Structure formats: C-alpha cells, structure tokens
Amino acid sequence: MRVRRISTALGSAAALALALSACGTAEVGGDGGEGGGEGNGGGDTITIGVKYDQPGLGLDEGGTPVGFDVDVATYIAGELGYTPEQIEWTEAASANRESFLQQGTVDMIVATYSITDERRQVVDFAGPYYVAQQDILTQADDSEINGPEDLAGKTLCSASGSRSANNIVDSEEDGGLGVDAQLREAGNYSECLELLGNGTVDAVTTDNTILAGFAAQNPGQYRVVNNPFGEEKYGVGLPAGSTERCEEINAAITKMWDEGQAAEYLEAAFGETDFAYEESVPELDACA
C-alpha cells in the first residue's frame, strides 16, 4: 500500500477545527420525508452510529457530527440511495456498538469499529474501509514511554468496550504482548484524556488515528509515541445476517477509494497533523 505522510507537525487546534469543518456535515436527525425508498436504501431514513468524542474521526459540533468516519458514512449512505438529509446520526460509544446493532437502534455503525473474530460472533462487518495501527499517548513531557515495553509497571487507560489495552497486557498465548501494566478502564477516550492530564494514568492506548486527533486538539499537552504496532481494521458494523448489505457497502468502499474521495476525507480530517495514512483501498474481507 502507498503511504502518505502529512508533513505539518501536530499541534494546531485552530487548524484542526478548520479541517473538521471541511468534513461531512449531515444534520443530526434527517426528516425522512423525501423518499429514500426511491433509491437503493429502501427506506425514508437510515440511522448510523458514529463517535461524538473523537476529533478528526467523529466529533459532535453543536449537533452536527464531523470527521473522517462521518464522511465515510455519508458517502456509503449516498451509494445506498440516501441523501445527507435522510441520515439520522446516533452516538455509538465503544461499549454499546454490539447492543445497538442487535437491538435495531441503528442500521449501521461507522465508529472506529475494529473487525475482530470475537465481534463477528454477534454482528456482521463490511470493509474494512481503513486500516489503522495501535499507538500510545503520553503527557508531552514524558520521555520514559516510547513503546509498549515501556509500559511495564505503568497505569494504562483504555475505553470501555475497546480491546486496545488487552493487546498490550494479555499474554502472548492470548494474542497480546504480555506487558505487566495496570489497566484503568474509562467510559470513553475523552475520560482517558482527563485521567492522563491529571496524572491518574501514565498513558492511553488505542488507534493512532484517534490519538492523533486528541493530540492535535490539545497542542503541547500530549505526545503520540509514534511507534505503531499491530493493526486495526475499521469495519462498518451491521446486524447479523446482513450479507447483501455488506456486499453493497464493500462496493461503495471500493468506489470511494478509486475515486480519491477517501484520501480527500483523510486530508480534511488530519491535514494539520503529522499522521501517516494509507492511500490505497484496503483489502476487503469477504461478506459472510
């Protein structure tokens, strides 16, 4: 895959805000009265779960979510026959993504939702639409932590419902790195940032996309270690048994990358950060 690094250094909150404003801007709660059923969608509205607290990816700005995931979701919905006005946005925190899909609260979830075998037991995935890598965020003046191995004896924060911290602390037999760090679970990554800022935890770990957004939103306060490991395949979460819809979304993802739209969305979201992103379409998983 080709990799493009956006050269500007991390750190301009104002510039990030401008970048975010360039992202998708479908209003929360489409009115649904203008016939999404005339397109391929088969209904008046489509309900999509996104994050509301992740700068650059999914951030609630006065009732309008913006970010890379929002742009991707808007594009996919368009390919399914829905206009932006027909999208109803719902906040999907890490801990409630499976339940939202199982209960029919949403039609799909585009929320840094990593594809795993465990999750595939209860929900379906299309994609991935992007492949991120895991990294670590520390306070800006912390020079001791420069990789997962440096977390031994440290306190590590991860959001409820995320497996990122387990990738570090679980034994090698269980697929982890076997690092002896103490885990601290928070409700979401915004809470992890608060704990990191007040010194309750030593580091936060999750996808480098998420960490880059937070670091840019808080210039001079946090540092991304920039020593990525593993990979996180961002999928579009769907209710179990959504094989046909999965195939439609995979076709939309391929088109999005082929047309250059995905690269434009990444540039808009992370154009003011030192974040390296893939420039070519990820290898899509087969729909079950």
CB contact at 8 A, 1 and 257: no
For 214-258, the pLDDT digits (tens) are 888 888 899 999 898 888 899 999 999 999 999 999 999 999 999
Q: According to the model, what pLDDT value does residue 105 have?
A: 96
d(CA 162, CA 125): 16
For the chain, the average pLDDT equals 84
- Check whether 26 has a pLDDT greater than 50: no
Amino acid (one-letter) located at 135: D
- Check whether 12 has a pLDDT greater than 70: no
For 186-203, the pLDDT digits (tens) are 988 889 999 999 999 999
Q: What is the 3-state secondary structure (H, E, C) of 94-107?
A: HHHHHHHHHHCCCC
d(CA 113, CA 125): 9
* Tokens at 118, concatenated: 């465990």
CATH number of 134-230: 3.40.190.10
- Check whether 35 has a pLDDT greater than 50: no
* Tokens at 182, concatenated: 């103490």
Grade residue 42 by pLDDT with cuts at 50, 70 and 90.
Answer: low
For 77-131, the pLDDT digits (tens) are 999 999 999 999 999 988 899 999 999 999 999 999 999 999 999 999 999 999 9
Do the domains spanning 3-131+232-278 and 134-230 agree at the CATH topology level? yes
Alpha helix segments (H runs only) across the chain: 13-21, 68-79, 97-103, 117-120, 164-169, 189-197, 208-217, 243-258, 261-270
* Tokens at 164, concatenated: 């990122």
DSSP 170: S
Residue indicated by tokens 């951030």:
59
For 131-177, the pLDDT digits (tens) are 999 999 999 999 999 999 999 999 999 888 888 888 999 988 888 89
Distances in Å between the Cα of 173 and the Cα atoms of 166, 169, 177, 229 are 12, 11, 9, 17
Mean pLDDT, residues 269-285:
77
Q: What CATH class does 3-131+232-278 carry?
A: alpha beta
Distances in Å between the Cα of 204 and the Cα atoms of 63, 112, 201, 224, 240 are 27, 16, 8, 10, 31
For 251-264, the pLDDT digits (tens) are 999 999 999 999 99
Q: According to the model, what pLDDT value does residue 4 have?
A: 37
| Per-domain boundaries in the chain | 3-131+232-278, 134-230
Output the pTM of the full model. Answer: 0.74
